[in-house]
């Protein structure tokens, strides 16, 4: 069966005073029905932009989807009219934003904001919408939903607001949910609760999920496949457990080394990835990770590596890996 979403060679650029920022530069990935994939990478590597591109909500006029194809259920989202695209948003594809406080309108009740999408896409009346909102709040684990539905965002705690955001996202039973770092603003215990909630709901509704995160540690548990992004490109992808246990790109290895792991003996110190991501306006000619890479070979400076199958269904864009010199795995 064809995947639910197939992104091919997506390029989203931002035209700024200083030059063209290639935030997403030729990214391809696909999401199967009912599957959870993870987009992983540091801040500013293009994860959020590639997700917003799917909804065609990149801030214009500075940002522009330059080329690519995004086949959703066989339809190219980039070819849809503005109006048809609007009918997709919320109904077929929805998004959970990072900041639940600023993403909720302070002057509307939680219930009204949940029922908003239902009013747009399911022609519900306000009253029907509120009833459905109550049911949804109950589903995401808000106590006393029949009262809470009339609350304003400032009366909710951080974790509850994010639950409300989840309720908004699932209101119209979309086929695809994009969760853009849904747990960055809450503490670790709530983070686990929220991720479990998202996982249970997507399972229950058979929804596909794109989980955007910078924490590779949570990926193995919640996603089936992982796409690691660096400087606007996908540098590695494969099954979550494969990537987690045997990373084929030194960047992925670096990401793994920088988070504490409970399944391995404790190291004295976490290993940060030295340096900064490259300037997306002036990318180096060769591998964009080369300057920060401890394993680079002369070829890395000259030629940009392309995604190659290193192990079965496990791809990486790395010259070192292709030569079979994966020294980072010996640590």
Partner 1 sequence: MATTVNAANASSRPHHTLWGDAWVRLRRNKLAMAGGIFIIILALAAIFAPLITPYGFARQDLTAILQNPSSKHWLGTDGLGRDVFARLLYGARTSLAVGIFTQVIVLGIGLPIGAIAGYAGGRVDNVLMRFVDVMYSFPDILLIILIKAILGGGIYQLFFAIGLVAWVDIARLVRGQMMSVKSRDFVAAARAMGGMGPYITERHLLPNSLGPIIVSVTFNVPRAIFTEAALSFIGIGVRPPTPSWGSMISDGYAVIFASWYQVFFPALAIALLMIAFTFLGDGLRDALDPKLRH
Q: Which residues bind partner 1 (CB under 8 A)?
A: 55, 57, 61, 86-91, 94-95, 97, 99, 102-108, 116-117, 120-121, 142-144, 147-148, 150-152, 154-155, 157, 160, 165, 168
Distance in angstroms (rounded) separating the CA atoms of residues 209 and 170: 11
The owner of tokens 């990214």 is 27
Of 16 and 67, the one with the shorter C-beta distance to partner 1 is: 16
Least distance between partner 1 and beta carbon 117 (Å)? 4
Q: How far is the CB of 61 from partner 1 (least distance, A)?
A: 8
Q: Which is nearer to partner 1, 148 or 225 (CB)?
A: 148
Beta-bridge partners for 42: none
Select 11 or 161, whichever has its Cβ closest to partner 1.
Answer: 161
Q: Using CA atoms, how far apart are residues 72 and 54, in angstroms rounded to an integer?
A: 9
C-beta closer to partner 1: residue 97 or 230? 97
Residue 114 C-beta: closest distance to partner 1, Å: 10
Residue 105 or 271: the one with the smaller Cβ distance to partner 1 is: 105
- CB closer to partner 1 out of 155 and 329: 155
Closest CB to partner 1 among residues 89, 237:
89
* Least distance in angstroms from the C-beta of 48 to partner 1: 11
Q: Shortest Cβ distance from residue 230 to partner 1 (Å)?
A: 26
Least distance from partner 1 to the Cβ atom of residue 90, Å: 4
CB of 173 to partner 1, least distance (A): 13
């Amino acid at each position: 069966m064809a995947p639910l979403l197939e992104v091919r060679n997506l390029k989203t650029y931002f035209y700024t005073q200083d030059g063209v920022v290639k935030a997403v530069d030729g990214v391809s990935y696909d999401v199967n029905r009912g599957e959870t994939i993870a987009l992983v990478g540091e801040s500013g590597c293009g994860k959020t932009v590639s997700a917003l591109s799917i909804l065609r909500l990149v801030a214009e006029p500075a940002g522009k989807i330059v080329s690519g194809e995004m086949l959703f259920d066989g339809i190219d989202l980039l070819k849809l009219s503005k109006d048809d695209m609007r009918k997709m948003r919320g109904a077929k594809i929805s998004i959970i934003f990072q900041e639940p406080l600023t993403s909720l309108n302070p002057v509307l009740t939680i219930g009204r904001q949940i029922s908003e999408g239902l009013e747009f896409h399911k022609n519900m009346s306000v009253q029907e919408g509120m009833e459905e909102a109550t049911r949804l709040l109950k589903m995401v684990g808000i106590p006393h939903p029949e009262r809470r539905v009339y609350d304003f965002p400032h009366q909710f705690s951080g974790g509850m607001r994010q639950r409300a955001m989840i309720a908004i996202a699932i209101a119209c039973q979309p086929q695809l949910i994009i969760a853009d770092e849904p747990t960055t603003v809450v503490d670790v215990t709530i983070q686990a609760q929220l991720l479990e909630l998202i996982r249970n709901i997507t399972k229950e509704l058979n929804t596909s999920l794109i989980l955007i995160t910078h924490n590779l540690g949570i990926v193995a548990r919640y996603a089936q496949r992982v796409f690691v992004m660096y400087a606007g490109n996908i540098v590695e992808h494969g099954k979550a457990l494969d990537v987690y246990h045997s990373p084929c790109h030194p960047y992925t290895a670096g990401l793994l080394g920088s988070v504490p792991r409970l399944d391995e003996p404790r190291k004295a110190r976490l290993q940060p990835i030295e340096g900064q991501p490259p300037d997306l306006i002036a990318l180096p000619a060769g591998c964009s990770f080369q300057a920060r890479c401890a394993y680079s070979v002369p070829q890395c400076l000259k030629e940009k590596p392309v995604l190659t199958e290193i192990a079965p269904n496990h791809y990486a864009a790395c010259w070192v890996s292709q030569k079979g010199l994966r020294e980072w795995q010996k640590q």
